[in-house]
């Protein structure tokens, strides 16, 4: 944590004073983005590339999870479902066979999945980091990622609509990181129909917001 320069954080500790991050870790969007930058840098300056790679291998019990990180290795043919909901039943009743976060997202996507829609997504092949802060409510990882990557298609009143997302970047103090406000645009294929909805920009008083860095 010291090498990442995260500064002030909130988490519970065990008897030896070590962080128990699985019980809750409160960070700002910028702090989460720094963790994402660690992934893009292959672990530097904190861990080696080989050590970090262990986080993406999964386990025999769950190929989509290892050492606190979820992966999308089963895409594009894996099973999409709500990971948070799957974690609610007892372990013996959970089914993680061929689990993937999003079939239409790159298979090198990795994520930290927190409760009530809190997310950190990192896609190394796109050099993309996305932080989502939320306070409950309905949420789908796959749907969100399709919107983000411009791969969502909807059928409304017989017309096929293509949903794309455009982002305007705002450079942070670290020149390698940028915060993006987002704009979702819906196009009806083969017509002049277009409908746009602006997302909350940085600092907007919204319970949910998407923050992307690239």
Q: What is the per-residue DSSP string for 104-157? A: TS-TT-EEEE-GGG-EEEEEGGGTEEEEEE--SS---HHHHHHHHHT-EEEEET
Ranges of residues in the chain with a pLDDT under 50 are: 155-161, 163-165, 167-214
Could you tell me which of 36, 6, 30, 1 has the C-alpha nearest to residue 124? Answer: 36
Instruction: State the residue for tokens 């789908």.
Output: 140
Percent helix, strand and coil across the chain, each rounded to 5?
A: 20, 30, 45
Predicted confidence at residue 108, as pLDDT, reads 96
Using a cut of 0.95, tell me whether the model's pTM lies above it: no
Instruction: State the residue for tokens 């672990």.
Output: 43
The three-state secondary structure class of 210 is strand
131-134 contact pairs (CB < 8 A, 24+): 131/29, 131/32, 131/33, 131/36, 131/211, 131/212, 131/213, 132/208, 132/209, 132/210, 132/211, 133/29, 133/208, 133/209, 133/211, 134/207, 134/208
**Number of neighbours of residue 86 by Cβ within 10 angstroms:** 14
Predicted confidence at residue 202, as pLDDT, reads 36
User: Which tens digits make up the pLDDT trace of 127-184?
Assistant: 999 999 888 788 899 999 999 998 876 544 444 445 444 544 444 444 444 444 444 4
Helix (H) or strand (E) holding 195, with range, is strand 194-198
Predicted confidence at residue 1, as pLDDT, reads 58
For residue 174, how many C-alpha atoms fall within 13 Å in the half-sphere facing its CB? 13
Predicted confidence at residue 213, as pLDDT, reads 45
Helix (H) or strand (E) holding 79, with range, is strand 79-80
């Amino acid at each position: 944590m010291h090498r990442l320069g995260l500064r002030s954080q909130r988490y519970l500790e065990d008897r030896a004073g070590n962080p128990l991050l699985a019980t809750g870790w409160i960070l700002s969007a910028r702090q989460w983005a720094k963790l994402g930058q660690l992934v893009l840098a292959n672990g530097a300056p904190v861990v080696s590339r080989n050590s970090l790679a262990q986080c993406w291998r999964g386990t025999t019990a769950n190929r989509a999870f290892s050492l606190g990180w979820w992966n999308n290795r089963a895409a594009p043919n894996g099973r999409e479902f709500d990971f948070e909901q799957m974690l609610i039943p007892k372990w013996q009743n959970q089914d993680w066979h061929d689990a993937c976060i999003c079939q239409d997202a790159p298979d090198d996507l990795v994520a930290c999945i927190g409760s009530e829609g809190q997310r950190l997504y990192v896609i190394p092949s796109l050099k993309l980091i996305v932080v989502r802060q939320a306070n409950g409510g309905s949420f789908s990882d796959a749907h969100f990622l399709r919107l983000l990557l411009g791969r969502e298609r909807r059928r409304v009143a017989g017309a096929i609509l293509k949903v794309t997302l455009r982002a305007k970047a705002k450079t942070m103090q670290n020149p390698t990181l940028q915060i993006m406000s987002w704009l979702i645009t819906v196009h009806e294929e083969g017509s002049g129909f277009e409908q746009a909805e602006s997302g909350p920009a940085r600092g907007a008083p919204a319970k949910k917001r998407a923050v992307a860095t690239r």
